[in-house]
């Protein structure tokens, strides 16, 4: 049977509304941030850890809306499986690149944790540029920051 425009757009509205609500209302954001998955001492190295808040991340909100949409649209499990399969094919291209990029960024970010007490890679690169260009570094600093944001993807 045909679906109304409102019902078809509802998942998109829910994603937008939940993202805004979770960021605008501190109580909601705090509740979502209370669920934290922590990965301490990665590869046995003390001080290198990762954690994330799956319910607060946009991806977590997207998964919640997918589950809500399953019920709101009265979908069958087979239909949900087909939709997830189609989405997975699209995501594999970007995911393949991220599979290698994210670990490299984590290494870059955590490079300051070392037995030789060396500066982290971003600090070392910034110092090198500052030493190389001297007094004009403040003019170049935004470019260094932009490069770092580009590399880190944030």
Q: Cβ contacts of residue 111 below 8 Å, gap of 6+? A: 118, 120, 121, 122
Closest CA to 64 of 78, 54, 53: 54
Residue with structure tokens 């094919």? 89
Instruction: Please report the pLDDT score of residue 154 as a whole number.
Output: 57
The backbone torsions φ and ψ at residue 48, rounded to the nearest 5 degrees and listed phi first, read: -100, 115
* 34: three-class secondary structure by DSSP: coil
Spell out the domain ranges in the chain: 1-75, 95-154
Q: pLDDT at position 17, please?
A: 96
- Side-chain-side CA neighbours of 34 within 13 Å: the count stands at 7
- Beta-carbon contacts of residue 124 (< 8 Å; ≥ 6 apart): 118
Tell me what pLDDT residue 152 has.
Answer: 66
Give the pLDDT of the chain (154 residues) as one tens digit per residue: 788 999 999 999 999 999 999 999 999 999 999 999 999 888 887 878 888 899 999 999 999 999 999 999 999 999 999 999 998 888 887 788 788 888 888 888 888 888 888 898 888 888 888 899 988 988 888 887 888 778 766 5
pLDDT of residue 62: 94
């Amino acid at each position: 049977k045909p679906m109304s425009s409102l019902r078809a757009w509802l998942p998109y509205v829910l994603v937008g509304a939940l993202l805004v609500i979770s960021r605008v209302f501190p109580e909601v954001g705090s509740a979502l941030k209370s669920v934290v998955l922590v990965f301490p001492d990665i590869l046995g190295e003390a001080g290198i850890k990762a954690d994330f808040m799956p319910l607060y991340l946009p991806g977590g909100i997207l998964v919640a809306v997918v589950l809500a949409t399953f019920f709101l649209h009265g979908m069958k499990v087979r239909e949900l499986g087909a939709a997830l399969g189609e989405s997975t094919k699209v995501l594999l291209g970007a995911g393949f690149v991220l599979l290698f990029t994210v670990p490299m960024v984590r290494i870059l970010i955590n490079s300051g944790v070392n037995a030789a007490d060396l500066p982290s890679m971003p600090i070392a690169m910034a110092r090198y540029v500052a030493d190389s260009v001297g007094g004009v570094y403040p003019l170049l600093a935004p470019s260094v920051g932009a490069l770092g944001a580009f590399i880190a993807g944030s």
